[in-house]
């Protein structure tokens, strides 16, 4: 078992402990560290890990391959790269083309981030993506781009003129739509884990084998956490703007709505990232009765462990 997973086993069992760890991991200053420094931190024994080594290793090294993650696909870069794309994706555009363009950028990055941080324990013989994985990823980006642009498509292609209906399509529909798109995207991109299985470990960190049941659980948990992230990020600005419209200040100065919307999207998204990442343990557990029969004997304490991915 990778040192990162041993750390999560000892320190990340409660939501609040995971949240505290993720706040440190998401510190963008870790992106300035060199690969050599990151590998050195990851190579240290757990007893020698200080706060800097923990942050560098957890934020920059993949827990299955032990390789340093690409700079822009590390958790610490997630907010910096995604926030502008999320803001642009949630804004009302003057035509469908701009909506599709920004959704394409957003969904492309989200798909690539999911691929880079997925569980790769069953793929150690080949670091290249399979043709099936590439097709699934490309299809996911296309589907998610169209689905994410659905409110704009409905307004302009159907010729919606009612301001009430426009408001509903722009403020209310994106909430369930964003959550659903995020869930389906993760589930599709990581579907191979459910089909081929992922590595599971006993309580001592010894490899037991591959489990499809664990793969299904890992993918479902990650998909739910991503749905919570984007669903809540879409809900915060909509609810905030609705409340602000009732105040006299906003009614007199409606020009404040646009900057307040931008700020609320960024703040909501930024606050939800560590929350969503903390919803489920990085080192997940699965009961022995829920795994394949040939793996049940290895669950001495009734549980087996797996890397959930991100």
Domain residue limits, the chain: 75-307
Residue 48 buriedness (CB in 10 A; 0-12 / 13-18 / 19+) = exposed
302 confidence band (pLDDT: 50, 70, 90): confident
Q: Tell me how far apart the alpha carbons of residues 120 and 124 are, in angstroms, rounded to a whole number.
A: 7
pLDDT for 127 equals 59
Question: What token pair was written down for 136?
Answer: 């699934």
Q: Tell me how far apart the alpha carbons of residues 246 and 266 are, in angstroms, rounded to a whole number.
A: 22
pLDDT for 250 equals 65
pLDDT for 255 equals 67
What's this model's pTM, rounded to 2 decimal places?
0.91
92 confidence band (pLDDT: 50, 70, 90): confident
Do residues 96 and 157 lie in contact, with contact meaning Cβ atoms separated by under 8 Å? Answer: yes
Do residues 256 and 70 lie in contact, with contact meaning Cβ atoms separated by under 8 Å? Answer: no
Q: Tell me how far apart the alpha carbons of residues 28 and 37 are, in angstroms, rounded to a whole number.
A: 16
With helix as H, strand as E and coil as C, how does 256-291 read? HHHHHHHHHHHHHHHHHHHHHHHCCCCEEEEEHHHC
User: Helix, strand or coil for residue 306?
Assistant: strand
Q: Report the pLDDT averaged over residues 113-119.
A: 94
Helix (H) or strand (E) holding 11: helix 3-11
- The two beta strands, 283-287 and 303-307, are antiparallel
Q: Report the pLDDT averaged over residues 175-193.
A: 94
User: Helix, strand or coil for residue 283?
Assistant: strand
Q: Report the pLDDT averaged over residues 152-158.
A: 86
Sign (positive or negative) of CA dihedral 115, 182, 180, 88 = negative
Reported as a single tens digit per residue, the pLDDT across 239-276 is: 887 777 677 766 666 666 777 888 888 999 999 999 99
Q: Report the pLDDT averaged over residues 55-63.
A: 93
pLDDT for 243 equals 77
72's CB contacts (< 8 A; 6+ apart) are 81
Q: Tell me how far apart the alpha carbons of residues 206 and 65 are, in angstroms, rounded to a whole number.
A: 16
pLDDT for 251 equals 62
Phi, psi at 27, each rounded to 5°: -65, 115
Q: Report the pLDDT averaged over residues 87-106.
A: 89
pLDDT for 56 equals 92
User: Which residue matches tokens 């989200």?
Assistant: 110
Q: Give the residue with greater pLDDT, 47 vs 72.
A: 72
Q: Report the pLDDT averaged over residues 44-64.
A: 88
pLDDT for 28 equals 92
pLDDT-wise least confident of 92-101, 110-119, 145-154, 162-171: 162-171
Q: Tell me how far apart the alpha carbons of residues 116 and 73 are, in angstroms, rounded to a whole number.
A: 7
Rg value, the chain, Cα: 21
């Amino acid at each position: 078992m990778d040192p990162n997973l041993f750390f999560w086993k000892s320190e990340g069992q409660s939501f609040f402990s995971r949240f505290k760890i993720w706040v440190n991991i998401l510190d963008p200053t870790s992106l300035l560290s060199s690969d050599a420094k990151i590998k050195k931190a990851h190579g240290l024994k757990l007893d020698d890990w200080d706060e800097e080594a923990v942050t560098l290793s957890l934020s920059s090294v993949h827990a299955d391959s032990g390789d340093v993650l690409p700079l822009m696909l590390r958790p610490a870069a997630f907010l910096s790269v995604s926030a502008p794309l999320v803001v642009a994706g949630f804004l009302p555009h003057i035509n469908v083309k701009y909506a599709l363009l920004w959704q394409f950028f957003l969904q492309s990055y989200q798909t690539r981030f999911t691929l880079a941080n997925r569980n790769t324990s069953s793929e150690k013989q080949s670091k290249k993506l399979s043709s099936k994985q590439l097709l699934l990823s490309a299809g996911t980006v296309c589907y998610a781009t169209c689905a994410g642009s659905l409110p704009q498509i409905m307004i302009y292609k159907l010729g919606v003129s009612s301001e009430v209906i426009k408001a509903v399509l722009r403020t209310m529909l994106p909430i369930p739509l964003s959550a659903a798109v995020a869930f389906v995207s993760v589930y599709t991109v990581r579907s191979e884990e459910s089909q081929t299985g992922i590595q599971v470990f006993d309580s001592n960190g010894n490899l037991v084998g591959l489990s499809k049941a664990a793969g299904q659980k890992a993918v479902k948990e990650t998909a739910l956490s991503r749905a919570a992230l984007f669903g809540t990020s879409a809900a915060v600005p909509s609810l905030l703007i609705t409340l602000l419209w009732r105040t006299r200040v906003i009614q007199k100065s409606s020009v404040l709505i646009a900057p307040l919307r931008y700020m609320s999207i960024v703040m909501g998204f930024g606050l939800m990232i560590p929350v969503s990442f903390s919803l489920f343990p990085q080192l997940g557990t699965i009961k022995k009765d829920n795994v394949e029969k040939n793996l049940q004997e290895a669950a001495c304490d009734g549980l087996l462990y797996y890397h959930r991915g991100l």
